[in-house]
Amino acid sequence: MSDHQAQCEAALIDGQWDLAESEARAWARHLPAGVEKDPRPHFVLNVVHLVRGQFADAWQTHSRCLQEADDIAEVRTWVEGFVGQKQDKANAHLVMGLFLAQSGESEQSMKSYKEAARLAPESAYPHYFLAQIHERANHLEMAIKEYREAVRLAPGYAPARTNLGVAYQEQGRLEMAIPQYREVIKLNPEDHVAHANLACALAEQGKMEPAVQSYKTALKLNPKDAEVHFALGGLYETRGRLDLADRSYRDALEANPDFGPAHSALGWLALRKQRFQDAQEMFSRALKCNEEDPRAYHGIAELYAIRGKRQSAMENYSKAVKYYRDPEMRNALMNQLFQEGQVPD
């Protein structure tokens, strides 16, 4: 066993996340001669990123340790080995829970999280990760209960507050979500995601100007976030500021040329202005990014209808109805077609 491996094991059990990260990076850099890859140090990094709420980084490390069957088997053998020797330590069960949850065994991970919570009743982590399991199972009330407990135990643990706010927002309880986002911003003023979450909740409350300002703050902190540019564009479009909406959608594409929803949105703006060729081009680009984009199919259907090509229009209306996930959008389109005497397949 290398010194780096031993240090990683000890650091995980003791909850020394900074040390675990540095040792894992050193371990990954100094593999034994003849060993091309080792998923174990990347799993350590995966754990550290998850604990810190760094989900984008966690996803990147996940692909390097828990995607291939052989890697999962190797990590399992290792985790079961060193964790099994520390059954009286809360973080041993926390690490096991994270392994199980990350390798597709969410149900089994719950037992590990509950044991971690029993051994360390002062720790927010087991409640935080148990809440995520409940949330993925669409048991929002149970998730909220666990997130609330995590926040009670660690008021300064921003990831728990963020997720609690998101869970409240999913329930439509904006008056509960917004204070959580504001607390996260107090803890981390440069957290662009918190500003974007706050903006989204404010917009849902109908507080458009504060929402615009929060989106702008988020973009100052991270100008390359295509989703935030797109959300701001949608807000401008709702307010009738089509010029600003157009600019925001184009900013989204500058940040990410493959961000399909922005292509669709620009297509609809062009359609409104009767710039049919531009609209067709934008909808086609959207479908290159996502061949199941309902707004693109809907827009193309409208173009065919304008041109009097009923059969082609109905084919695309049918695809739009099929792919719309929002029941309100699907029902609205269905009602429109029924009123026009058209029934999609």
DSSP 169-206: HHTT-HHHHHHHHHHHHHH-TT-HHHHHHHHHHHHHTT
What is the residue-level pLDDT of the chain in tens, covering all 345 positions?
678 999 999 999 999 999 999 999 999 998 887 778 999 999 999 999 999 999 989 999 999 999 999 999 999 999 999 888 999 999 999 999 999 999 999 999 999 999 999 999 999 999 999 999 999 999 999 999 999 999 999 999 999 999 999 999 999 999 999 999 999 999 999 999 999 999 999 999 999 999 999 999 999 999 999 999 999 999 999 999 999 999 999 999 999 999 999 999 999 999 999 999 999 999 999 999 999 999 999 999 999 999 999 999 999 999 999 999 988 888 888 887 876 666 555
* Dist CA 235 CA 1 (whole Å): 56
Residue 199 identity (one-letter amino acid): A
pLDDT value of residue 279? 98
Sign of torsion over alpha carbons 254, 256, 261, 267? positive
* Dist CA 253 CA 257 (whole Å): 4
Closest CA to 20 of 29, 9, 35, 28: 9
pLDDT value of residue 71? 95
